[in-house]
Structure 1
Amino acid sequence: MLQRQLVVFLLMLVSYSYAQQQPPRPEKDSTQHAQDSIKKTEFLKTIGNGYLPFKYFNLDLRYLIKFNQYEGFRTGLGGITNDEFSERYRLDGYLVYGFRDDKFKYKIGGGFRVNEASNTWVNLAYTDDLQESGSSKFLTDKRFFTFFEPRLININLFYRHITKSVSLQHKVTNHLLSETQLAVSKITPTYYYNYLLDGKSYHSYDLSTAKVSMQWSPFSHFELVNDKIKETKDGYPKFALQLTQGFKSVFGSDFTFSKLDFRTIHQFNHKNEAVTNITLVAGIAGGDTPLTHLYHAYPNNITKETILQRFSVAGINSFETMYFNEFFSDKFSTLQLKHAFKPFKISERFKPQLVLISRYALGEMTSKSRHEGFDFNTLEKLYSESGLEINKLFFGFGLSFAYRYGSYHLPKLEDNMAFKFTFNISL
């Protein structure tokens, strides 16, 4: 446990120090200062998106170093070509190595633009990597980057996938983005698990899938800046919808299944600088869907005896009292409510912020007996937890406390509690 805490602390301390670095600024005239200011803003924006820019490509900071329970330390390099290389073609990829599982993972990809006005791209990719079981991602999600990913440290349930994909990325309007993907994957869980179907047991299986994903931001504002359309106001609510269809016997695929995922985020910015955030996520899977492609409910609590042994880092949108691999569903929904009060201005540098949080989850599993060798519970009753965070107490560090109550309250009192620290920095 101490080793894990030291790893967490060192990773975040390095990340914070890196984010705070600023080059020295010698005295210059006002025009030069303005140009430097623009360059600095663009540089920080690129860094904030997770890239370190070079002449013809941008280094992807996501692949430098990570840690999880299966791979241990995971480190490598990745990147994507930029407009200096070409405005019509791009190449991207990465190569990483996990020290605990002693394996390389990689991706090779590229794309070409077929229409500039609608930002339409055709992308090709070959990926050999790991994915968390029960996780579900929207193709149209904006690139989300943080110097530190809290949940990743404690995840141990992965599946390996070798995926060949082709996708079409298209902007229907400024407010409506879409992406369509066709993919063929070889799936192998890294843990003991078999999916039973028609008297046959599958540990590894092939999937052929089609995905259609849309993201609608009806209240965002866009303007023409330097001959490019850019979002100038991040409006709420936002909506995301994704349909996944698996086809049996297409390119050797083993299963037919369907998934529908939905998410909406609403944010209220109050006049007193307080912010209220509401996030609703729902998903439904039908047909022959193995556990790897079902749903967990964003758990972030490790199975240890005492609160101090479970002490780790609170996630951004995760259930802090829900134990990893405790629940899985083929139909689920979660509701998360956050209210961040106006920061307490104790000094110019010390501005802690109190956040109140409540989270709820509901789900069910139609054919639990098909999933062999892996024990889990279901969410037919309402899962509830509430708590608070006090953020930015020291160099971006804070503290959080959450309590589990209601239908899934555990007999032992301290098993319902989660005490962790938070980490928040911004560029």
Structure 2
Amino acid sequence: MKVIHSFFLALTLLFLSFIPASGQKTTVSGTVRDALTKETIPYVSVFFKGTRIGTQTDINGKYTISSPLAQTALTFNYVGYQVVVKELKPLENQEINLFLKPDTKSLAEVRVLGTKKTRYKNKDNPAVALIRQVIAHKEENRMASYNTASYRQYDKMLFSMSNVSEKFKNKKIFRNYLFLFQEQDSTLIGGKNLLPIYIQEKLTDKYYSKDPSRNKAVILGEKQVNFDAKLIDNNGIKVYFERMYQDIDIYKNNVSVMSNEFLSPIADAAPTFYKFFITDTLKNQHGEIIELSFTPRNTTDMLFEGKIYVTNDKHYAVSGVAMGVNKNINLNFVRAMKIDLDFERNATGKYSLAKSKLLADFGLSKTKGMGFTGERTSTYKNYQFDANLADTVFKGRSIEALAGSANRDDRFWEKNRLDTLSKAQLKIYHNIDTLQQIPSFKRTMNTATLLFAGYQKLGPYEIGPVNTFYSFNNVEGFRLRLGGRTTPELSKRIYFENYAAYGFKDEKWKFFLSGTYSLNNKSIYEFPQNYIRASFQRDTKIPGQELQFVQEDNFLLSFKRGVNDMLLYNDFYRLDYIKEFENHLSYTVGFKKWSQTPAGGLYYQEAKGAFISRLTTSELSVGFRYAPNEKFIQGKLYRTPITDRYPVFNFRYTAGLKGVFGGEYNYNNLLGSIEKRFYLSQLGYSDVILEGGYIFGKLPFSLLDIHRANQTYAYQLNSYNLMNFLEFVSDHYISINIDHNFNGFFFNKLPLIRKLKLREVVSFKALYGGLRDENNPMKSAGLYQFPKYENGVQRTYALGSQPYMEGSIGVGNIFKLLRVDLVKRFNYLNNPEVSEWGIRARVKFDF
């Protein structure tokens, strides 16, 4: 995610201070109603007479239309009603409410007539009866109804800065680059002026088989804008955009758009969450098509609104969709969204998707200022159904690219595009190369990389991360750190990483050095990984603290609650080999020598009273990970897995080797986990982790499973947020972690509160485990005693007959990026320095 956020942050830093020029000469708003029933009419076309400036009424019949010039009249047009022209007054702002009269000629064509206004209900509603027929016939109309299928797909993705003001266009830095800007119809999403910044094309042959269930995609050609690789990771941009703009399958119960799950208007539960209305009957060469309008029962939920077109025959197939989202939806940064799906009748008599278009406009403000407009258009042709597909078609990876697919010339694209590119779109490739030559653009991108990613490039080496340069704790005191890493510009096979740190209280130097060699001539961060790494680290660590996505000496994590004076000085010597396969199975083999010295309030004391100053172990480990269908946000110097509905399995075996390189203990440690995200449609999603471990052998407490605790004020997903460091140890345990996000399902129903676009979160964590007598220093001789506070009260415990449990209720999406949880600890409340309640916060960027 870093490269994407850096990319958008750079543009924001460059353009944020510019606000589009105001001074609009004509703004008109109002409501359109039926002259007979007095009901509001949605989707009425409203235009300034004699111009292309127009809009539509929303689902409640309301509209607002603006023009920078003085206008004289408005026209109102809707199928089945008389066209109305209203003269305008010479005022800047005015309101026109209108009643449209039915057109008797048009009404003669309509088969289904509305009745007087009644309370909406599903029972005896012909529109609901129709949508239930569509739902009942979904399986026969889906691609999965065929034994085999193949087709060609062409994808075109465009990204532009939108709503660009004339004032901004005329800035000095763009004086010689006005050709970069494009104009569009102001009725489209994003406004009149656009600054294109990205274009991507892809041509793919796709294959499907039902029995056995298999899918294959062969990329024939791929082309995209390439930014300076020193500043932007082009592959990371491509993967991120493809994640946000996935293929849209209206027949699925849930449609994924911009990393959110929207309930389809033809989902099994659609009549519960949507209102449906039959609004027209149309004809095409194959028969009648019924126009069915739909709207959310609650406009803030993750639902669509718009129209769906259904064949009036025994198949009840979808022949077209035109939908978007309500302006009140609990979706961050999205000003507007428009989705169009066109289906064509195929040789089998069924309907197949011929073209899909997703257009979305983003901005920090819902109404004003510049933003970003993203558009993905997909065209589908050459369908073949129930043909014999050889097994060789499906061999290898599920997605493969032909040799040279990324280097196709213009002649290839001119011949094989299934859709057309306008002259303006064709120029984007050249124009972006020109944009990158603007010095201010380069400076802004460099600044964004430093501020957001945390690294400053110095040729083939980059310094960072900046948030670790300064921190403090009770043992080291004030701590300074400086380090960095090499980049692929130095070598694609060899990577180095290092840092040095100094504590002014303990007056000790800490440092880290690693060298990594790639065995497949790819970046060590690129899938599939295959590398060997050797490293040495001399540094401090808090026993039982495990952090996600941040370094332990991050400045913000220096602030901790309670007594926090236990620390280990560690020397780690490591040798690791990692191998990933195309099916997302991977294994690791590693050797580690670990010498640890307790510090601060932590000490190692035998039962006879002798203190141990140093403990050394040598370990050999092997681990396996299986993550089917896993995708990544891939960068040059990082790789972030994308959380999805597929499970991730982990297993690790570690053997302690006594007598090898000074190792003092023999033991065997087994650890396994399963993690999965469960999507629950309108009720949001749950992230669930099951984990368990078992240690064979007699060991001191510092080598047992020290359960992940958190004494910072940050909410950590995989740690116990009200457990103290080193409070519990086990030699066998099992745990469950459930974190559920309701996506605002309840807050969306509350007046006033729903305007804040807050989202509810709940979590529950339980840990059941214990110590066998041989590893309990109170029952077995020859073990280190559990640590105690200065007053002699015990600090470390074994779990008893009850599992440790804690839960939280939280509010997310505060200011669109903050989550705050009220956490409760349910038991073991008599342990010293324990808090039953706590408030924790977490920063999370979501759409």
Q: Same fold (TM over 0.5)?
A: yes
1:238 matched to 2:648? The reply is: yes
Q: Which moved more, 1:393-402 or 1:276-285?
A: 393-402
1:359 matched to 2:743? The reply is: no
Tell me by how many angstroms 1:276 deviates: 0.9
CA offsets per residue over residues 248-271 of structure 1, 9 Å max, x none?
A: 111222111221222221112343
**Match of residue 42 from structure 1:** 233
1:419 matched to 2:838? The reply is: yes
CA 1:417 to 1:336, structure 2 compared with 1: closer, same or farther past 3 Å?
A: same
1:377 matched to 2:785? The reply is: no
The amino acid that maps onto 2:507 is D
CA 1:179 to 1:277, structure 2 compared with 1: closer, same or farther past 3 Å?
A: same
**Match of residue 574 from structure 2:** 165
Tell me by how many angstroms 1:149 deviates: 8.4
CA 1:373 to 1:425, structure 2 compared with 1: closer, same or farther past 3 Å?
A: closer
**Match of residue 78 from structure 1:** 483
CA offsets per residue over residues 312-359 of structure 1, 9 Å max, x none?
A: 333222223323332221222221111111146789995432211111
CA distance in 1, matches of 2:482, 2:634: 34
Tell me by how many angstroms 1:277 deviates: 0.9
The amino acid that maps onto 2:702 is T
CA 1:172 to 1:349, structure 2 compared with 1: closer, same or farther past 3 Å?
A: farther
The amino acid that maps onto 2:597 is T
Q: Which moved more, 1:312-321 or 1:391-400?
A: 391-400
The one of 491, 498, 501 aligned to 1:96: 501
CA 1:213 to 1:127, structure 2 compared with 1: closer, same or farther past 3 Å?
A: same
CA distance in 2, matches of 1:89, 1:193: 40
Tell me by how many angstroms 1:119 deviates: 3.2
- Is contact 2:603-2:611 (8 Å) kept? no
**Match of residue 325 from structure 1:** 726
CA 1:216 to 1:202, structure 2 compared with 1: closer, same or farther past 3 Å?
A: same
Tell me by how many angstroms 1:128 deviates: 0.7
CA offsets per residue over residues 92-112 of structure 1, 9 Å max, x none?
A: 111122344332211111122
**Match of residue 822 from structure 2:** 401
**Match of residue 59 from structure 1:** 463
**Match of residue 6 from structure 1:** none
Tell me by how many angstroms 1:364 deviates: 0.7
CA 1:392 to 1:183, structure 2 compared with 1: closer, same or farther past 3 Å?
A: same
**Match of residue 618 from structure 2:** 208
Q: How does 1:14-413 map to 2 (within 5 A)?
A: 22-24=12-14, 29=180, 33-34=197-198, 35=225, 42=233, 51-61=455-465, 63-116=468-521, 119-134=529-544, 144-145=549-550, 153-154=559-560, 156-190=565-599, 191-194=601-604, 196=606, 202-221=612-631, 234-272=644-682, 274-301=684-711, 312-343=713-744, 351-366=757-772, 367-369=775-777, 370-372=783-785, 374=787, 375=794, 376-380=796-800, 381-394=802-815, 396-406=817-827, 408-410=828-830
CA distance in 1, matches of 2:707, 2:726: 9
Give the unaligned 5+ runs of structure 2.
16-172, 182-194, 199-224, 238-448, 523-527, 778-782, 788-793
- Is contact 1:93-1:106 (8 Å) kept? yes
The amino acid that maps onto 1:64 is F
CA distance in 1, matches of 2:641, 2:824: 38
For the residue of structure 2 that corresponds to 1:283, the secondary structure is: strand
The amino acid that maps onto 1:33 is I
For the residue of structure 2 that corresponds to 1:90, the secondary structure is: strand
- Is contact 1:105-1:129 (8 Å) kept? yes
CA distance in 2, matches of 1:330, 1:150: 32
CA distance in 1, matches of 2:641, 2:806: 35
- Is contact 1:297-1:334 (8 Å) kept? no
**Match of residue 11 from structure 1:** none
Tell me by how many angstroms 1:388 deviates: 0.8
- Is contact 1:134-1:328 (8 Å) kept? no
- Is contact 2:514-2:533 (8 Å) kept? yes
For the residue of structure 1 that corresponds to 2:570, the secondary structure is: strand
CA 1:24 to 1:300, structure 2 compared with 1: closer, same or farther past 3 Å?
A: same
Residue-pair matches, total? 393
For the residue of structure 1 that corresponds to 2:660, the secondary structure is: coil
CA offsets per residue over residues 140-188 of structure 1, 9 Å max, x none?
A: xxx8348968766435432111122222121133412222211222221
- Is contact 2:628-2:648 (8 Å) kept? yes
Tell me by how many angstroms 1:398 deviates: 4.1
The amino acid that maps onto 1:362 is Y
Tell me by how many angstroms 1:88 deviates: 1.2
Tell me by how many angstroms 1:361 deviates: 0.8
Tell me by how many angstroms 1:382 deviates: 1.4
CA distance in 2, matches of 1:166, 1:110: 10
CA distance in 1, matches of 2:641, 2:607: 48
Q: Which moved more, 1:59-68 or 1:416-425?
A: 59-68
CA distance in 1, matches of 2:605, 2:669: 18
Structure ID, larger Rg = 2
Higher relative contact order structure (alpha carbons within 8 Å, sequence separation ≥ 6): 1
CA distance in 1, matches of 2:556, 2:641: 28
CA 1:32 to 1:87, structure 2 compared with 1: closer, same or farther past 3 Å?
A: farther
CA 1:277 to 1:96, structure 2 compared with 1: closer, same or farther past 3 Å?
A: same
CA 1:286 to 1:20, structure 2 compared with 1: closer, same or farther past 3 Å?
A: farther
CA distance in 2, matches of 1:224, 1:291: 39
CA distance in 2, matches of 1:242, 1:37: 40
- Is contact 1:174-1:222 (8 Å) kept? no
CA distance in 1, matches of 2:687, 2:729: 25
